[in-house]
Amino acid sequence: MIRGARANVPVAASAMAYGSVLGVLAAQKGLSWLDMMYMNTAIFAGAAQFVMVDMWSNRLPLFEMTLAVLVINLRYLLIGASLDPLFSGRGLLHKMGMMHLVADENWAVTMSEQRNGSATTWFLFGGGVFLYLAWSSGTLIGLLGGGFITRPEEYALDFAFTAVFTALAVGLWRGKSDVLPWIAAGCVALLAHKFLPGKWYIVAGGLAGAVSAMLGPCDSIEVEEVEDAAGY
Amino acid sequence: MLPAIEPQVLIAVGLAAGVTYSLRLGGLLLASRFPRSGRFRRGMDALPGALLFSLVLPSIVAEGGWGLMAAALTAIVVLRTRNTLAAMLCGMLVIFIVRKLGA
């Protein structure tokens, strides 16, 4: 668990950076620190929280907000599914307890750790707890002290999210067998980003990548077998 | 003193939280019913990378040529050093400088 926390230090730093951006935006919308912490604790999903704060007003659009959160977080269905091998042999209560603190960051760190065969569910959870602390302090710093950062984009803080996930994506690159899925994912994501509203592009691109890997040429089977053999 | 949470905030965040947690747990629980080999498995194995790539690519492209430069630098740094934090800071530095000069 401690190892998981330590492995998440870099991503937690970026979560804190864009958490502070969210805090600044939330302060402008009039959220209290308790509203913020309630969100951080109950939802714990950065992108969805950004969109909710963006939609915040005196009369909250409950239906639109919930739908937006559903669309943005659809990827968690896929993220959850990809964690199945890690959780194999664990009971339902263990799964229920561990899954709440799964975010993009500790998931991605755990996936690359799993390449070395040394990831556990506690590694995932340790990262989640650490991220929660970093995310909460980042949002509160932005919310309570945000007056002096009036334009976070001037400091490229909004790019922190993109930069850290670029680095994590590079870490997940598996070589030749990823060429086709990534091209498919990239094309579909760009098209969906242009023509579909909201955050559909994330799920659309991810699915396109997975489907193209399913339908792709069979030489990727050989690559997979080599990888499996190396894993033993 | 604790600030009060409005009832509508309680509901809105509660709904969002319920949806998010159901997706997280639902994906995990559904996955154990999926086949563990063959084409489907190949797709699931490709998913994490493809998903992250789809997440970042539109934001990189939206940033223009310098966004691509920043992303490339981030990738190079993480491949060379395996240091995610350093890679992130390098990417941010490019955008920071470009925006400073552009303003």
Contacts of A191 in chain B (CB under 8 A): none
d(CA A92, CA A129): 20
Task: Please answer yes or no on whether B28 and A213 come within 8 Å at the CB atom.
Answer: no
Residue A173 predicted with pLDDT over 70: yes
* Disruptive mutation site among B52, B66, B79, B89 for chain A (greatest number of A CBs within 10 Å): B52
Q: What ranges do the domains of chain B cover?
A: 51-102
Write down the mean pLDDT value for chain A. 85
Q: Is the pLDDT of residue A231 over 80?
A: no
CB contact (8 A) between residue B84 and residue A168? yes
CB of A110 less than 8 A from some CB of B: no
Residue in A closest to B31 by C-alpha: A81
Q: Over range A84-106, report the average pLDDT.
A: 92
Contact between chains at B54 and A205 (C-beta distance less than 8 A)? yes
pLDDT tens, residue by residue, A69-89: 887 788 898 899 999 999 988
What's the pLDDT score for residue A228?
44
Q: What are the DSSP calls for A180-200, one per residue?
A: HHHHHHHHHHHHHHHHSSTTH
Tokens 């070395």 correspond to A116
Confidence at residue A217, expressed as pLDDT on a 0 to 100 scale: 67
Higher per-residue pLDDT: A180 or A153: A180
CA distance B31 to B26: 8
Distance CA B45, CA B40 (A): 9
The distance in angstroms from the start CA to the end CA of chain B is 43
Test B54 with A52 for CB contact under 8 angstroms: no
> Where is average pLDDT lowest: A24-38, A69-83, A141-155, A211-225?
A211-225
Point out the least confidently predicted range of A37-41, A118-122, B81-85: B81-85
> Of B51, B77, B92, which is closest to A160 when you measure between CB atoms?
B92
Looking at residue B14, what is its pLDDT? 96
**Which residues of chain A from 130 to 169 reach within 8 Å of chain B, CB to CB?**
153-157, 159-169
Phi-psi group of A91: left, alpha or beta (phi > 0 → left; psi -120 to 50 → alpha; rest → beta) = beta
Contacts of B49 in chain A (CB under 8 A): 169, 172-174, 178, 181-182, 209
Higher pLDDT, A213 or A203: A213
- Nearest CA distance, B94 vs chain A (angstrom): 9
Mutate to test the interface with B, among A99, A166, A201 (most CBs of B within 10 A): A166
Is pLDDT of A151 > 80?
A: no
- Which chain A residue shows the shortest CA-CA distance from B21? A100
A137: Cβ contacts below 8 Å, ≥ 6 apart: A16, A19
| CB < 8 Å from A in window 5-64 of B | 5, 8-17, 19-21, 23-32, 34, 39-40, 42-61, 63
Residue B96 pLDDT grade (very low, low, confident, very high; cuts 50, 70, 90): very high
* Nearest of A173, A187, A129 to residue A4 by alpha carbon: A129
Region A61-75: what's the mean pLDDT?
84
Backbone angles phi, psi at A18, to 5 degrees: -80, -15
Q: Chain B residues with CB inside 8 Å of A74's CB? A: 23
Q: What integer pLDDT is reported at residue A188 of this predicted model?
A: 96
B68 touches chain A (CB under 8 A): no
Cα–Cα distance for residue pair B66/A153, rounded to 1 Å = 15
Find where tokens 């996936």 sit.
A111
Please provide the size of chain A in residues. 232
Most confident of A12-21, A158-167, A179-188, A203-212: A179-188
Rounded to two decimals, the ipTM of the complex is: 0.82
pLDDT at A124 over 70: yes
Name the CA radius of gyration of chain B, rounded.
20
The answer on pLDDT for A118 being more than 80 is yes
pLDDT at position A150 is 66
Share above pLDDT 70 across residues of chain A, in percent, rounded to a whole number: 91
pLDDT over 90, % of chain A: 40
Backbone angles phi, psi at A118, to 5 degrees: -115, 15
Residue A220 confidence (pLDDT)? 45
pLDDT on residue A40: 96
pLDDT of amino acid A230: 40
**A49-53, A103-107, A150-154, B36-40, range with greatest mean pLDDT:** A103-107
- Of A125 and A22, the structure prediction assigns the larger pLDDT to A125
> How do the domains of chain A map onto residue ranges?
2-172, 174-232
Query: Which residues 6+ apart lie within 8 Å of A68 measured at CB?
Result: A48, A51, A52, A55, A198
Measured between CA atoms, the residue of chain B closest to residue A158 is B92
Question: Given pLDDT bands bounded at 50, 70 and 90, which one contains residue B19?
Answer: very high
Averaged pLDDT for residues A12-31 = 86
Q: How confident is the model at residue A180 (pLDDT cuts 50, 70, 90)?
A: very high
Q: Give CA separation, A107 vs A7, A20, A95, in Å.
A: 11, 21, 14
User: Which one is predicted more confidently, B44 or A230?
Assistant: B44
